[in-house]
Amino acid sequence: MKTPPRLQSLIEEGLIDSVVRQLMSGKEALVYVVRCGDETRCAKVYKEATQRSFRQAVDYTENRRTKNSRQARAMAKGTKFGRQAQEAAWQNAEVDALYRLAAAGVRVPQPYNFMDGVLLMELVADEHGDAAPRLNGVMFTADEARTHHRSLLVEVVRMLCAGVVHGDLSEFNILLASDGPVIIDLPQAVDAAGNNHAKRMLLRDVANLRDFFGGFAPDLLTTDYGHEIWALYEAGALHPDTPLTGQFKRATGPVDLGEVIREIDDARDEEVARQQRMQ
Task: Kindly report, residue by residue over 67-99, the tens digit of the pLDDT.
Answer: 545 444 444 445 554 455 556 556 688 899 999
Across the chain, mean pLDDT equals 84
Report pLDDT for 250.
74
Confidence of residue 103 (pLDDT cuts 50, 70, 90): very high
Name which residue leads in pLDDT, 188 or 177: 177
Nearest to 209 by CA among 251, 154, 247: 154
248: alpha, beta or left? (left if phi > 0; alpha if psi -120 to 50): beta
Please say if the pLDDT value at position 269 is more than 90: no
Confidence of residue 234 (pLDDT cuts 50, 70, 90): very high
Say how many CA atoms lie within 13 Å of 216 toward its Cβ: 18
Percent of the chain with pLDDT over 70: 74
Note whether 74 and 89 are within 8 A (CB): no
- Give the phi and the psi of residue 55 in degrees, each rounded to 5: -65, -45
Confidence of residue 55 (pLDDT cuts 50, 70, 90): very low
Task: Kindly report, residue by residue over 111-153, the tens digit of the pLDDT.
Answer: 999 998 899 999 999 999 999 999 999 999 999 999 999 999 9
pTM: 0.80
Report pLDDT for 79.
54
Please state the rounded mean pLDDT for residues 238-256.
Answer: 82
Name which residue leads in pLDDT, 262 or 38: 38
Please state the rounded mean pLDDT for residues 14-23.
Answer: 95
Report pLDDT for 249.
82
Cα gap 23→11, rounded to integer Å: 18
Nearest to 10 by CA among 26, 38, 32: 32
Cα gap 264→258, rounded to integer Å: 10
